[in-house]
Amino acid sequence: MTASNPLSFQDLILRLHSFWSARGCVILQPYDVEVGAGTLHPATVLRALGPKPWRAAYVQPSRRPSDGRYGENPNRLRQFHQYQVILKPNPPDMQALYLASLEAVGIDPTAHDIRFVEDDWENPTVGAWGLGWEVWCDGMEVSQYTYFQQVGGLDVFPVSGELTYGLERLALYVQGVDNVYDLAFNDPQSPDFKTYGEVFLENERQFSTFELETADVAVLKRQFEDMERAVPTILAQAGRQGQSLVLPAYDHVLKASHLFNLMDARGSIAVAERQSYIGRIRDLCKACAQAWVALEETAA
Amino acid sequence: MPQFLLELFSEEIPARMQEGAARDLERLAREGLGEAGVPFGALRAFAGSRRLTLVVDDLPIVQADRVDERKGPRVGAPEAALQGFLRSAGVSGDSLVERDGVWFAMIQRAGRPVADILAGLTQSIVARFPWPKSMTWGSGTLRWVRPLHSLLCVFDRAVAPVEIPGVRVGDLSEGHRFMGPRRPFRARDFDEYREALAGHFVVLDVAERKRRILQGAHALCVARGLELVEDAGLLDEVAGMVEWPAPILGDMDPAFLDLPPEVVRTSMRTHQRYFAVREAAGGRLAPHFLCVANIEAADGGTLISAGNARVLSARLSDARFFWDGDRQVPLEARLEVLKGVTFHARLGTLHQRVERIEALARAISPSVGADPDLAARAGRLAKADLGSGMVGEFPELQGVMGGYYAAAQGEDARVVAAVRDHYKPQGPGDTVPGEPVSVAVAMADKLDTLVGFFAIGQAPTGSRDPFALRRAALGVIRIIFENGLRLSIAGLAELADRWGSGQTPAVLAFFADRLKVLLRDQGRRHDLVDAVFALGDDDLVRIAARLDALAAFLATPDGANLLAGHKRASNILAAEAKKEPVPDGEPARVSDPPEEAALFDALSVARPKIGACLATEDFTGAMAALAGLREPVDAFFDKVLVNADDASVRANRLRLVSWVRDEMGGVADFSLVSG
């Protein structure tokens, strides 16, 4: 990292794109359905299942309505950005590749303290878990590194390695800034320079109010139930090649999951109900996972 | 003598699993060599963040030859059977030996090369290593805690013939990820290995890593007039996270010192694995932190220190957000949140639990000298912090935060202390509350849990104690002991039984078991504990006093002899009871023989004395009164034949013997005393 010329937020993304592109990844666009984490993109959740090799990288805006702070907290956002890499099967030198990617964005591992700290990842709503670490750079968690073991309640083989970089955190680190809204979004030397705040602060303000205070709970609940009913219906429908319509069905799982997050942020989910909601989403996800695996195995 | 060196080199092993892994590696190696009958000298195992290492000294090159014997047919069995046996054993008739009419085949087994045995052992260790959690990776099926990359596996300076799919086996290893040459090195024995690791910036031995951390940390602190806040658990964890420990003393924004010190320390520890630092004079937290990096950076750690300081600021800003926000809401208002939190499906919500604790704390307060209104108030507020942001973030600060928030809203100091301390004692090393209001709430908290789970049939069984009821009972016992409280456990259990479960006897028996364990752990004799417990008392302080007096008494010659007398009395009465009912009623005083008269007189003197002593709980006095019986009892049994021919004489003597037993039985159940 050269203090005089740190990477802007978008240059950080471009560096990671070119790094992972050079290592065989398809560079995808963010999934256009609201999700709480980059893992939920079908390019990770579904592609991690089944026997076919797969390498992909993409940015995913991740929405966490409960974390809304009206743009008033320098570190917490209701929508942040994850840089997601999936390597299936994970190559033996995946840790070395990851460390090289940090060097590519300007973090010199001989000048910083980079550590792999135990963190067993799990996402109960998609029935997924894996073993791995939080990666720390000078005490700051800059990535999540996971070897998937199960997805949608199914054992995976081969195993995918998943990297999730917290882009805002990484940028705060690389730019040496304390407030996320002060991050340089593009080149500070440019006449069209914009900070992160100029791009996203208004989103945080409006969505925080909507998601924490005004979203219509009755509507959310109805929509959730609609999505829940739709999933098995869609899965039972067949495409022209006779396949189950897993991908559209999975979109509806994602929508259900986001609606649940919104209801949760509105405080309308009683503690006792939480587990049951999560279980309902997981069941939907499992149904999609099974259908996807059946499809992949037939194709393979 | 030949040495075996094995290093299992993997991606980062969770710190909390390393100590157990070293133990398991050592155990598996010992067992495996033992089963193979291979003698060995020193055997050591090491664990660190990327490697497990085993070194075994003084091994033979070849396993000793062995003779296995196999049982065959009886002598005189048909020839065909004998031939079949020889074929299956793979030996000729020369190898047969006869013993007790049976043929045995003596099968000579040539010793195998130890290199092969070690290779097999290594493969079996890798295949069945008991990691608490393991995984597969890539396209392989091997399981390890994280991907296993390579084995350095040498015996007598040569690579052992180990084969594990997907794992390199040889005499190479790697050092620190970023420091030193960053190239693999070769090692053929432990000395070379250890030296190469040091040259590649890896400290192999966890004890040495801890020593360096502490030494470095203390030196940094002392140089600035500071003191490290030691934390053994954190030291263990940190020592498992670094291969080349480099302590760094960082600066924290002093503005954060207005946060409660527990918050600062917990945030440092939980999120960042930093040690806190305090002023050498005065003991207050200092605006610094001690982090242990895994690298000595070229700039002396300036960048690392600054980066860590920035993360800590973000963390503490978060903590301040909760601290400020939490104090805006009165604790009472947070109770609403607890209505939505289930404590246990069959024991209702946390809010219902709060109401029970409130009532119970009030009910207990007279017997512990607490103000009932204050105890009830504290009981009501004790759990309110569970709804606060800070406790949501740091569950281990429950109680502590409640205390701060209670103080902030101007509660009575005794209520504040009770809210803060009501979880105490949380373990054998924890302190016990002493202020009466705290005592009332701490007991109410534990009794509600205990009696509640008994009421719904969830008493602990065997080693299963999912609701930590043993700890709760032990907590109540310690509170009672350390405060010298005079209470009936049964009475407490009744007060706590809001369910009308009638489980008091079971709860009482559970307490008795815990108390026995505790007293035994304190070195009290198991049989004496039983002897006192058999009296059915449930006042713990009295039980302990009686126990100590009894132990002291039995250590005297009078006590030991009287115990023998008691045994004799019991045996006579038991033998008699088999024939016909032992006569009841008071004995009469007879003047002849004199020993019978003397015993009658001694018992007549002892009875009121013992009664008076027991009434005033003067157990030492009661024992002293018993001591007065020793001589007459001994003389009686020596000189007087209880089983006299004359039925009325015998009956009177039996009544006298019963009296001896009963008088002693009021003090302790001597029949349960061994020796």
Query: pLDDT tens digits, residue range B160-202?
Result: 999 999 999 999 999 999 999 889 999 999 999 999 999 999 9
How would you classify the pairing of strands B275-279 and B246-251?
unpaired
Residues of chain B above pLDDT 90, percent: 78
| C-alpha span between B363 and B377 (Å, rounded) | 12
Which residue's entry shows tokens 């094995």?
A: B6
**CA gyration radius for chain B?**
36
Measured CA to CA, the distance from residue A93 to residue A119 in angstroms comes to 20
CA distances from A247 to A28, B337, B492 (A): 16, 40, 61
pLDDT digits (tens, 9 = 90+) for B237-284: 999 999 999 999 999 999 999 999 999 999 999 999 999 999 988 789
**B319 vs B485: CA distance, rounded Å:** 40
Helix (H, G, I), strand (E, B) or coil at A120: coil
pLDDT interval class at B536 (50, 70, 90): confident
Per-residue pLDDT at B535 exceeds 90? no
Which structure tokens are listed for A100?
A: 């090289």
Torsion, Cα B494 B496 B500 B505, to 10 degrees, reads -50
Contact A90 B138 (CB under 8 A): yes
Q: B146 in contact with A at a CB cutoff of 8 Å?
A: yes
Within 13 A of B634's CA, how many CA atoms are on the CB side?
13
Distance CA B6, CA B144 (A): 16
pLDDT at A300: 66
Q: Is pLDDT of B340 > 80?
A: no
Asked if A270's CB is within 8 angstroms of B12's CB, the reply is no
pLDDT value at residue B237: 96
- Cα B353 off chain centre by: 28
CA torsion sign for B511, B517, B523, B525 is positive
Sort out which chain B residues have CB atoms less than 8 A from A270's CB and list them.
340
The rounded percent of chain B whose pLDDT value lies above 70 is: 100
Output the CA torsion sign for B430, B432, B438, B442: positive
A51 interfacial to chain B (CB closer than 8 Å): no
| Integer CA distances (angstroms), A292 to A286, B162, B271, in order | 10, 40, 38
Helix (H, G, I), strand (E, B) or coil at A80: strand
Distance CA B565, CA B630 (A): 8
Please check whether residue B348 touches A, CB under 8 A: no
Q: Is B338's pLDDT higher than 90?
A: no
| A102 Cα to chain B: minimum distance (Å) | 13
Tracing tokens 């050498």 back to the chain, one arrives at B280
Q: What is the C-alpha separation between B397 and B420, in angstroms, rounded?
A: 9
Beta pairing partners, A61: A81
Confidence at A269, pLDDT banded by 50, 70, 90:
confident
CA distance B373 to B155: 75
Note whether B150 and B9 are within 8 A (CB): yes
Q: What is the pLDDT of residue B617?
A: 92
The whole-angstrom separation of Cα B222 and Cα B224 is 5
Phi and psi (nearest 5°) for B444? -60, -45
**Interhelix angle for B504-521 vs B526-533, to 10°?**
150
Helix, strand, coil content of chain A in percent (nearest 5): 45, 20, 35
Mutate which of A66, A98, A133, A138 to test chain B, going by most B C-beta atoms within 10 A? A138
- Range with the largest mean pLDDT of A79-93, B86-100, B569-583, B658-672: A79-93
Single-letter code of the amino acid located at B76: G
A157 vs B: CB within 8 A = yes
Q: What is the 3-state secondary structure (H, E, C) of B99-158?
A: ECCEEEEEEEECCCEHHHHHHHHHHHHHHCCCCCCCECCCCCCCCECCCEEEEEEEECCE
**Lowest mean pLDDT across A192-196, B155-159, B199-203, B643-647:** B643-647
B248, B301 in Cβ contact below 8 A? yes
- The answer, yes or no, to whether residue B674 has pLDDT greater than 80, is yes
Contacts of A143 in chain B (CB under 8 A): none
- The residue among B610 and B91 whose pLDDT is bigger is B610
Residue A3 confidence (pLDDT) above 50: no
Mutate which of B137, B141, B248 to test chain A, going by most A C-beta atoms within 10 A? Answer: B137
- What DSSP assignment string belongs to B646-664? SHHHHHHHHHHHHHHHHHH
pLDDT of residue A18: 98
Which amino acid does the sequence have at B489? I
Question: Do B138 and A140 make contact, defined as CB atoms within 8 angstroms?
Answer: no
Predicted confidence (pLDDT) per residue in B81-133, tens digit: 999 999 988 888 888 899 989 999 998 889 999 999 999 999 999 999 999 99
Q: Do B241 and A115 touch (CB under 8 A)?
A: yes
User: Measured between CB atoms, does B641 come within 8 Å of chain A?
Assistant: no
Residue B349, min C-alpha distance to chain A (Å)? 10
Are A112 and B304 within 8 A, CB to CB?
A: yes
Q: Flag if A139 and B308 touch (Cβ within 8 Å).
A: yes
B83: its two tokens = 């031939």
Alpha-carbon distance values, B24 to B89, B133, B194, B402 (Å): 37, 14, 21, 42
- Give the pLDDT of residue B534: 85
Does position A4 have pLDDT exceeding 70, yes or no? no
Name the residue among A89, A109, A138 with its Cβ closest to that of B308.
A138
Instruction: Please check whether residue B149 touches A, CB under 8 A.
Output: yes
Q: CA of B305 to nearest chain A CA: how many angstroms apart? A: 7
Please name the amino acid found at residue A20. Answer: W
Is B299 in contact with A111 (Cβ distance < 8 A)?
yes
User: For residue B295, what is the nearest residue in chain A, using CA coordinates?
Assistant: A113
Calpha distance B495→B490 (Å, rounded) = 9
Q: Do B294 and A113 touch (CB under 8 A)?
A: yes
The minimum CA-CA distance between B282 and chain A, rounded to whole Å, is 29
- Contact A116/B12, CB-based, under 8 Å? yes
Q: Contacts of residue A109 in chain B, CB cutoff 8 Å?
A: 177-178
Interchain CB distance below 8 Å, B137 and A159: yes
Q: Note the pLDDT tens digit of each residue in A205-261.
A: 999 999 999 999 999 999 999 999 999 999 999 999 999 999 999 999 999 999 999
Contact between chains at A113 and B16 (C-beta distance less than 8 A) = no
Cβ of B178 and A114 within 8 Å?
Answer: yes
How many CB pairs lie under 8 A apart between chains A and B?
113
Nearest-by-CA chain A residue for B148: A92
Contacts of B296 (CB under 8 A, 6+ apart): B179, B201, B244, B246
pLDDT of residue B93: 84
Tokens of B301: 């750690």
Q: Residue A272 has what pLDDT?
A: 64
B 116-135 → A contacts, CB under 8 A:
133, 135
Strand ranges inside A202-276, DSSP E: none
DSSP A195: B
Encode pLDDT of A144-187 as tens digits.
999 999 999 999 999 999 999 999 999 998 998 889 999 999 99
For the ranges A256-270, B204-218, B618-632, the maximum mean pLDDT occurs at B204-218
What single-letter amino acid sits at B358? Answer: E
pLDDT of residue B38: 95
The answer to whether the CB atoms of B241 and A271 lie below 8 A apart is no
Mutation target vs B (from A75, A118, A274; most B CBs, 10 A cutoff): A118
Q: Is B32 helix (H, G, I), strand (E, B) or coil?
A: helix
- Contacts with A, B 217-236, CB within 8 Å: none
Distances, alpha carbon B572 to alpha carbons A86, B597, B640, B658, in Å: 85, 19, 13, 10
Each residue of B436-492: pLDDT tens digit? 999 999 999 999 999 999 999 999 988 888 899 999 999 999 999 999 999 999 999
Q: Residue B294 is nearest to which of A115, A140, A161, comparing CB atoms? A: A115
Average pLDDT over residues B651-663: 93
Q: What gap in Å lies between CA A17 and CA A20, rounded to an integer?
A: 5
**Among A90, A118, A173, whose Cβ lies nearest the Cβ of B137?**
A90
The answer, for B321 touching chain A at a CB cutoff of 8 Å, is yes
User: Which one of B176, B177, B251 would you mutate to disrupt binding with A, by most A Cβ within 10 Å of its Cβ?
Assistant: B177
Arithmetic mean of pLDDT over chain B: 93
The mean predicted confidence, pLDDT, of chain A is 94
pLDDT greater than 60 at residue B206:
yes
